[in-house]
Structure 1
Amino acid sequence: MNRNGWLGILALSAMTLALMPQPAPAQFGGLFGGPEIETISTDQLQSLLDKQQRAAADAKAAGQEAPTPDFVVVDVRSDAEVNVSIIPGAITKKQFEADRQQYQGRTVIPYCTVGGRSGAYAKQLAAKGVKVKNYKGSILKWVDAELPLVTLDGKPTNRVHTYSDRYKIPSKYEQVTK
């Protein structure tokens, strides 16, 4: 085949590829494309939670109702993971999804084990117009800073589900992987 024949085949192949449907970002779990998501650090999250806790304590001491925070921390890990422990003040993804209207207008701060699942969830929320900040590093960064954890009923615990034993955590915590 001559040069013109090859050029024709190449041009036809390029046109065919250009006309083929392209995969949507959702087909890849929302990890590619979509809105850019702002992140929040461990120090920033701890500061928000501490400030809210102080405001609630002050309101209680004054016989008033605690102010509604302008954020909500959402643990997007599996039931097995959240049944071990959560960050104090967080709610589960199930709780958030069951009553999203209650949290309308607040910044949603999702977290997971390291930030991947929470990042994908943050992109889904942002695509729906929700203000969101991903806690990248998530619960592993929280325990690296040796911050407290609680059970779903609010009791202090040192247990943390790390999803995998490949992650190392400070010795003051008990690592759970199953």
Structure 2
Amino acid sequence: MKKVLTFLLAVLGLNTACSQNFDNYDVKAFAELTADPDVVILDVRKADEFAEGHIAGAILIDQFQSDFAEQVKAKLPKDKVIAIYCRSGRRSANAAGKLADIGYKCVNLKGGILAWKEAGMPVTADTYEVDMFKTRSGKTVTFHALTHASIRIQYDGKEIEIDPVTKLGNKTIDYAAMPKADYLFVTHEHGDHFSQDAIKILTDGKTRFITNQRCAEMYGSGEVMKNGDKLQLADDFTVEAVPAYNYSEGRTQFHPKGRDNGYILTVDGLRIYIAGDTEDIPELSAVKDIDIAFLPCNQPYTMTPGQLVRAAGIIKPKVLFPYHYGQTDLNSIPSLLRNDGIDVRIRHYE
């Protein structure tokens, strides 16, 4: 009976092979595909499997989570190819089918990461979390939470690095494995923001290294921006340097007024505020129309949780990433800002 049913399904064109709505690639083809920075790599395994080793740049969304589809819709753009893998290819095939059903173009890695490793392809154990946003014209901006104050941003084929450091505590960032930066911004001279080694690794002849006066002097080169300066970097990309400093008694020596920068990046209408090391200073009232804000919360050097909540209430970003937080407890922040309509996302930068 089973053979007869299989034969009838095949005759009618209803067998599973004919109805498959995604592509299967072998390791070689998958590697060539994922070399394209516009392709989104999706790992659908569990977090512990991901931590043991994954393909560099992959976004983790566990397909067994009850809100898998909701996470996919929130994180993955529909105008990009989604390259999916799991351990052996079974879970990822299931996920690829689900995503294709809701309008995504998907490619599944045959044999999964087991086949990838067997072919001698590289894996990494980095734990960078990734967030994606759309610009005014529908382009994708991707944020990688590297560590502490170090952020990697990808936009329209461009690489943007914020305060890159090669090593912080027990964590090392392999910048040699990343593309050279088109734009590299440093807020100030402290070692958790300014690393000459990282700058050397990330820069080449096309890189624009933008920083404050002090860091340019220490490194021996760089485009200097002072508080209040604005640069047009491309037709759809501007940067503004804004104040970042301490005002509380006993803290002003950490970040004196007028020395350091925060930056507002505007990419195709999407406004991104990277505060650097600052407290909830009066100048925040001039920081307006922010889509995405990175605010530090690392007392006594930057803000307390209460100061961060006040700062967010002034700026009113659509999405807030507390960063640079060290051992500070951030648990109260989402609930304190719930009535402000701010989407608070806490990422593991440390």
Matched, 1:42 2:19: no
State the Cα distance separating 1:97 from its structure 2 match.
Answer: 2.1
Unaligned regions of 5+ residues in structure 2, if any?
1-15, 63-67, 129-172, 175-350
Report which stretch shifted further, 77-86 or 147-156: 147-156
Distance 1:89 1:51 in 2: 11
Report how far residue 129 of structure 1 moved: 1.5
SS in 2 for 1:117: helix
| 1:149 alignment partner, SS class | coil
Q: TM-score, normalised by structure 2?
A: 0.28
Whether the aligned pair in 2 keeps the contact of 1:74 and 1:109 (CA below 8 Å) is yes
For residue 46 of structure 2, what is the amino acid of its counterpart?
Answer: S
Indicate the residue corresponding to 2:315 in structure 1: none
Is the 8 Å Cα contact of residues 34 and 127 (structure 1) preserved in structure 2?
no
1:152 deviation in Å?
3.2
How far does residue 33 in structure 1 lie from its aligned partner after superposition?
8.6
Q: Who is 1:142 aligned against? A: 116
User: Would you say the 8 A contact 2:78–2:103 is kept in 1?
Assistant: no
- Structure 1 unmatched runs, 5+: 1-30, 53-68, 157-178
Q: Give the RMSD, CA atoms, in angstroms.
A: 2.8
**Quick check: 1:126–1:132 contact (8 Å CA) kept in 2?**
yes
Q: Which residues in structure 2 correspond to 1:62-81 (within 5 Å)?
A: 69=38, 71-81=39-49
Q: Which residue of 2 aligns with 1:107?
A: 81
Structure showing the higher strand proportion among its residues: 2
- Give the Cα–Cα distance (whole angstroms) in 1 for the partners of residues 76 and 46 of structure 2: 22
User: SS of the counterpart of 2:21?
Assistant: coil
Paired amino acid for 1:135 = L
The answer (yes or no) to whether the contact 1:38–1:132 under 8 Å persists in 2 is yes
- Structure 1 counterpart of 2:50, from 76, 82, 85: 82
TM-score (norm 1): 0.52
Separation in structure 2 between the aligned mates of residue 98 and residue 122 of structure 1, nearest angstrom: 11
User: How far is 1:110 from its partner?
Assistant: 1.1
In structure 2, relative to structure 1, the CA distance for the partners of 1:84 and 1:102 (3 Å cut) is same
Counterpart code for 1:43: K
Query: Which amino acid letter does the alignment assign opposite residue 49 of structure 1?
Result: T
Give the total of aligned pairs. Answer: 109
Separation in 2, partners of 1:33, 1:122: 15
8 A Cα contact 2:22 2:105, kept in partner:
no
**Once structures 1 and 2 are overlaid, which stretch shifts more, 91-100 or 143-152?**
91-100
Q: Which residue of 2 aligns with 1:11?
A: none
**Helix, strand or coil: the match of 1:150?**
coil
Q: 1:102 and 1:108, CA in 2 relative to 1: closer, same or farther beyond 3 A? A: closer
Task: Provide Cα deviations, 1:31-61, integer angstroms capped at 9, x if missing partner.
Answer: 8995432112211222233353xxxxxxxxx
Larger relative contact order (Cα-Cα within 8 Å, sequence gap ≥ 6): 1
In 1, the alpha carbon distance for the partners of 2:94 and 2:17 equals 9
Describe the shift of the 1:88–1:102 C-alpha distance in structure 2 as closer, same or farther (beyond 3 A).
Answer: same
The within-5 A match list for 1:1-178 is 35-52=20-37, 69=38, 71-93=39-61, 97=71, 100=74, 102-153=76-127
Identity %: 26
Relative to structure 1, the CA distance from residue 51 to residue 98 in structure 2 (aligned partners, 3 Å threshold; closer, same or farther) is closer
Structure 1 residues 32 and 45: CA distance shift in structure 2, 3 A = closer
Name the SS of the counterpart of 2:55 in structure 1: coil
After superposition, give the CA deviation of every residue in 1:87-108 in whole Å (9 maximum; x if it has no partner): 1121111599266455221111
| Distance across 2 between alignment mates of 1:34 and 1:97 | 25
If each structure's helix is expressed as a fraction of its own residues, which one has the higher value? 1
Letter in 2 for 1:50: A
